[in-house]
Amino acid sequence: MAATIIDSRIFGDMFSDARMREVWSDENRTAKYLDIERALARVQGRLGIIPQEAADEIVKNCELSQIDWVQLKAKTEQIGYPIIAVVNQINAHCRDKLGEYCHWGATTQDITDTAAVLQMREGLALVEQDLNEIGDALASLARKYRDTPVIGRSNLQQATPITFGYKMASILAGIDRHRERLQQLKPRVLMGEFGGASGTLSSLEKGAMETQAALMQELGLAQPLISWHTVRDTIAEVGAFLGLVGGSLGKIAMDVKLMMQTEVAEVFEPYAPGRGSSSTMPQKRNPISCLYIHANISVARQHAAALMDAMVADHERSTGPWEIEWVSLPEIFCLMSGALKQTKFILKGLEVDGARMRANIAMTNGLVMSEAVMMGLGPYIGREYAHDLVYDLCREAIAKDRPLIEVLAVHPEITKHVTRAQLEAMCEPANHLGQAGVMVDRVLAARG
């Protein structure tokens, strides 16, 4: 019976993604052990390190369908690691004791680490696909709403107008940086391990480095310059990368749920009958995907920190820190897959209310245009004096509940320099969107 939220029959597909769970499943992990043992035998047979007859027999019996899962579980619990249990089963299926050449010169951690790297490669491919889809969805929103005014917010207060396209493009630029980071980290982290007991390959009298090179080529992984049994920066880097991605997804979720508030009502998660409803308040439309994103990325950050703890390993083979990765690596990938899936759902079906955005800009009776007025008056009366004057007039507009334009248009120090028409132009949000459109275009153009 599943006990974790990731494997739950009820919540599993809300907090994670089935494709990522498959990557980190017992079946796929064990299949990777077999892939490595198969590749090692093939390479060592070709190099003459083990008899070709033995290599052929081992290759033939590295099959997942032959694994006895009950026996594998029992043996792993007895030994503490699954690799010997897998090798025992391969050996048992081979004729004439040819299976004794299986795992020749390798150590448990070589197979375990290389399998984890193969799983990371599959997991990162899914992350990359999701990031591409999220980027495309953000680009579509940025393009569509390039010139749609929405109020910018600072410290949860209305600031100055921006555009919704600018808001989306700003987040998109971060997502595209993640895509770039992913390409940069792959050559570093997709690196296999084959070093033997203490990493020096002392177990092989000949062909040690040739075996290592050919094995990595066979698996499509980079060959390490030196063994990394207890130098775990590459694993931690993957965790840190996923933590960074989570921060960006959390930013999206935070803004969407704030903009879904009844008093704001500018954007909404995609609608489906009953989604986000309350058991007692029929009128409610709660954010749902945003909540799962927030929860997932918060826990994922803790796993990223745990992977950094795992870097503090003792000597050439560690006593405990390594096993932290066994817990944290699958979970950070699975949790992030859920956050990525929920983010795709939000962005691909995001409901945007441009009219409500414009109404919210107007709700302060023009006060949000005070910066534009200050800068417009600056050339005539000085910027600092204009700031203090507009500040006082804003307070007056609030106290008298009058539109800012009406207070400005009757002030003698202002009217002797500018006309009402000029003031109205200063108070028009569409006139003061700065370089928002230019910046949106730059982000979109950078994508190619």
Q: Are residues 241 and 347 in the same domain?
A: yes
Residue with tokens 């907090």: 15
The reply to whether 63 falls in a domain is no
The reply to whether 108 falls in a domain is no
Q: Are residues 420 and 297 in the same domain?
A: no
Strand extents, DSSP E, 258-397: 267-268, 351-352
Helix or strand holding residue 408 (H, E) = helix 404-408
Confidence of residue 441 (pLDDT cuts 50, 70, 90): very high
Domain extent for 387:
364-447
Does residue 429 contact residue 369 with C-beta atoms inside 8 Å?
A: yes
Q: Are residues 283 and 408 in the same domain?
A: no
CATH of the domain at 261: 1.20.200.10
Q: Which of 121, 130, 340 lies closest to 238, judged by CA?
A: 121
Q: Are residues 328 and 407 in the same domain?
A: no
Residue 331 vs residues 11, 60, 294, 334, 426: alpha-carbon distances, Å: 15, 33, 15, 5, 53
- Residue finishing a domain among 353, 388, 415: 353
Separation between Cα atoms, residue 350 and residue 352, nearest integer Å:
6
Does residue 409 contact residue 423 with C-beta atoms inside 8 Å?
A: yes
User: What per-residue confidence (pLDDT) applies to 167?
Assistant: 98
Q: Per-residue pLDDT tens for 111-144? A: 999 999 999 999 999 999 999 999 999 999 999 9
Confidence of residue 285 (pLDDT cuts 50, 70, 90): confident
User: What per-residue confidence (pLDDT) applies to 80?
Assistant: 94
Say what percent of the chain tops pLDDT 90: 91
Residue 381: which residues within 8 A CB-CB, separation 6 or more?
389, 413, 417
Please check the confidence at residue 390 and state whether its pLDDT lies above 70.
Answer: yes
The reply to whether 14 falls in a domain is no
Does residue 292 contact residue 284 with C-beta atoms inside 8 Å?
A: no
Q: Per-residue pLDDT tens for 101-119? A: 999 999 999 999 999 999 9
User: What per-residue confidence (pLDDT) applies to 274?
Assistant: 67
Q: Per-residue pLDDT tens for 67-103? A: 999 999 999 999 999 999 999 999 999 999 999 999 9
Q: Which of 174, 108, 129, 177 lies closest to 23, judged by CA?
A: 129
User: What per-residue confidence (pLDDT) applies to 303?
Assistant: 98
Separation between Cα atoms, residue 260 and residue 256, nearest integer Å:
6
Q: Are residues 386 and 410 in the same domain?
A: yes
User: What per-residue confidence (pLDDT) applies to 1?
Assistant: 81
The reply to whether 302 falls in a domain is yes
The reply to whether 27 falls in a domain is no
The reply to whether 349 falls in a domain is yes
Single-letter code of the amino acid located at 395 = R
Say what percent of the chain tops pLDDT 70: 98
CATH of the domain at 369: 1.10.40.30
- Mean pLDDT of the chain, nearest integer: 95
Q: Are residues 258 and 381 in the same domain?
A: no
Q: Per-residue pLDDT tens for 295-308? A: 999 999 999 999 99
Instruction: List the catalytic residue out of 153, 179, 285, 317.
Output: 317
Q: Are residues 349 and 394 in the same domain?
A: no
User: What per-residue confidence (pLDDT) applies to 278?
Assistant: 63
Q: Are residues 252 and 345 in the same domain?
A: yes
- Residue finishing a domain among 353, 381, 412: 353
278 included as an active-site residue: yes
Q: Are residues 320 and 426 in the same domain?
A: no
State the total domains in the chain. 2
Helix or strand holding residue 151 (H, E) = strand 149-154
> Six-digit token pair at 70?
């009950």
User: What per-residue confidence (pLDDT) applies to 55?
Assistant: 98
- Residue finishing a domain among 353, 384, 410: 353
Please check the confidence at residue 276 and state whether its pLDDT lies above 80.
Answer: no
Determine the average pLDDT of the residues in 201-221. 97
Please check the confidence at residue 324 and state whether its pLDDT lies above 90.
Answer: yes
Confidence of residue 277 (pLDDT cuts 50, 70, 90): low
Residue 441 vs residues 131, 147, 252: alpha-carbon distances, Å: 20, 11, 20
Q: Are residues 195 and 281 in the same domain?
A: yes
Confidence of residue 279 (pLDDT cuts 50, 70, 90): low
Q: Are residues 251 and 345 in the same domain?
A: yes
Please check the confidence at residue 395 and state whether its pLDDT lies above 80.
Answer: yes
Q: Are residues 338 and 370 in the same domain?
A: no
Instruction: Confirm whether pTM is higher than 0.85.
Output: yes
Instruction: List the catalytic residue out of 95, 177, 275, 278.
Output: 278
317 included as an active-site residue: yes
Residue with tokens 């043992």: 37
Please check the confidence at residue 378 and state whether its pLDDT lies above 80.
Answer: yes
Q: Per-residue pLDDT tens for 416-433? A: 899 999 998 999 999 999
